[in-house]
Amino acid sequence: MTQDNRGAVNHRLKWIGIGMLLISLAIGSGWGIYKLPAPLVDRMLKVDILKQAELWKRRVVLHLEDPETALKTGVIDAHDAEFLAAMPEASDVYRFKLLDSNGRVTWSTRPTEVGSVENRDFFRSDVARGMIHYIQEVVPLSEIDGLDLHTDNILNATQHHVAEVFMPVAKNGRFIGAIEFFTDISDLRTTFISRLRISLTVLSGIALLALVAASFASYRANRLQLRALQNNPPKSVI
């Protein structure tokens, strides 16, 4: 095999390798665009929902005439009952409960839940110690109260992503109960994931195009150099 042939073969192998690299990068970018947005968006939404939950808790606690009695017994006056019942219509919360220090539901937007007990371990290990507890889960549409007030996507989905937040309530440093909020995050989650995927697609496309352009420029430079060597072979030194 002549030196020119070896150079041509090496040249082809080099560009086959570059082509395989570009294909691998495109596949990796596609996988990242599909997989990465959901966990990133979920993390962002968690931070936002926890901030909102703190505001929701303040509204409830500050509005109640006697928060400690309400949490312990569920006994509230008519004005407070009207405020609590209207809260789902005036906020992103579609359902919430008041729980005493033992996890017993003393008041709820679903009256049938009153008297039930929160038996999950985190209530005593985390919430009773003053820590906020956040749960994200997928539930059927039938679980979302006031569906038409809290989501636009009624016909196109049978299940929705819901954030469930337990906010501890303390008085003089003493745990007296908790408020459990439920909010539907499906619409926001879908919107943010779609926007993030579009952004990642554009950025990945720009990066790949830049890499292709740089490779093509290198290819042309190498071709010109190879032709120059073929037209003007180096003279052998005797």
What local confidence, expressed as pLDDT, does residue 164 receive? Answer: 95
Is 31 a member of any domain?
A: no
pLDDT tens digits, residue range 136-158?
A: 999 888 777 765 544 555 555 57
Q: Residue 136 maps to which CATH number?
A: 3.30.450.20
Is 122 a member of any domain?
A: yes
Alpha-carbon distance 52 to 162, whole Å? Answer: 14
Tell whether the model's pLDDT for residue 212 goes beyond 50.
yes
Query: What order do you get walking across the sheet with 159-171 strand by strand?
Result: 105-108, 93-100, 174-184, 159-171, 133-140
* Domain boundaries, position 138: 48-186
Tell whether the model's pLDDT for residue 86 goes beyond 90.
no
Is 229 a member of any domain?
A: no
Structure-model confidence comparison of residues 234 and 25, the more confident one: 25
pLDDT tens digits, residue range 17-72?
A: 667 776 777 777 777 777 788 899 999 999 999 999 999 999 999 988 889 999 99
What local confidence, expressed as pLDDT, does residue 200 receive? Answer: 83
Domain count, the chain: 1
Is 38 a member of any domain?
A: no
| Average pLDDT, rounded, for the chain | 82
Alpha-carbon distance 152 to 148, whole Å? Answer: 7
